[in-house]
Amino acid sequence: MTGQSNGASGAGPSHRSVEIGVALLTLVFSLIVIGGSLQVGIDWAFDGPRAGFFPFYLGLLILMSSLVNLFQIIMDGKTQRLFAEWGQLGQVLRVVVPSTVYVVLVPYIGIYAASILLIAVFMKWLGRYGWTLVLAVSIGTIVITFIVFEKWFLVPLPKGPIEELLGL
């Protein structure tokens, strides 16, 4: 992470290798689907097709199209296109990492506290804003959200120890 380097390096993973990865992923997925269908039975019982009947053929179709896709990428050796530059992928990771942490935190500290953290981290880390603005936006957003969801539309959201302390 070297600051705001927006991928000036010009290097990165090739589009081809990522395509192959995605095709392999769908291939593995198809095998899981086929395996799961075989587990519950793909033939006919006395009362009609068993539970695995339909998904089994879906799995076969995914398997077939994955193989075709894979074949087409491997045959097409000309494209030297980049998937994205490393700097760009870094930018993407700067969203993925905090969001993943956020998603993991929600069950423990509640969605409100986690959201304040997420917005604050984002603004501080990516936007480099002053603390006043960071706190105003993060807490303000969450207070408005609380009023709209819990009070107006009566949608309960997960809460944690902090809300309990505040008696909300």
Instruction: Give least dist CB 65 to another protein, A.
Output: 4
- Number of residues engaging another protein in binding (CB under 8 A): 74
Among 103, 147, 162, 168, interactor with another protein by CB under 8 A: 103
Instruction: Give least dist CB 19 to another protein, A.
Output: 5
* Sequence-separated (6 or more) residues with CB below 8 Å from residue 129: 123
CA 44 to chain centre: 38
- Of 6 and 164, nearer to another protein (C-beta) is 6
Give the span between the Cα atoms of 9 and 168, in whole angstroms.
50
Tell me: does residue 89 bind another protein (CB under 8 A).
yes
Identify which of 162, 49, 35 has the alpha carbon closest to the alpha carbon of residue 109: 162
Cross-strand pairs, 110? 159
- Of 45 and 168, nearer to another protein (C-beta) is 45
Tell me: does residue 130 bind another protein (CB under 8 A).
no
DSSP one-letter code for 130: -
First-last CA distance in the chain: 40
Instruction: Give least dist CB 102 to another protein, A.
Output: 7
Among 31, 51, 135, 139, interactor with another protein by CB under 8 A: 51
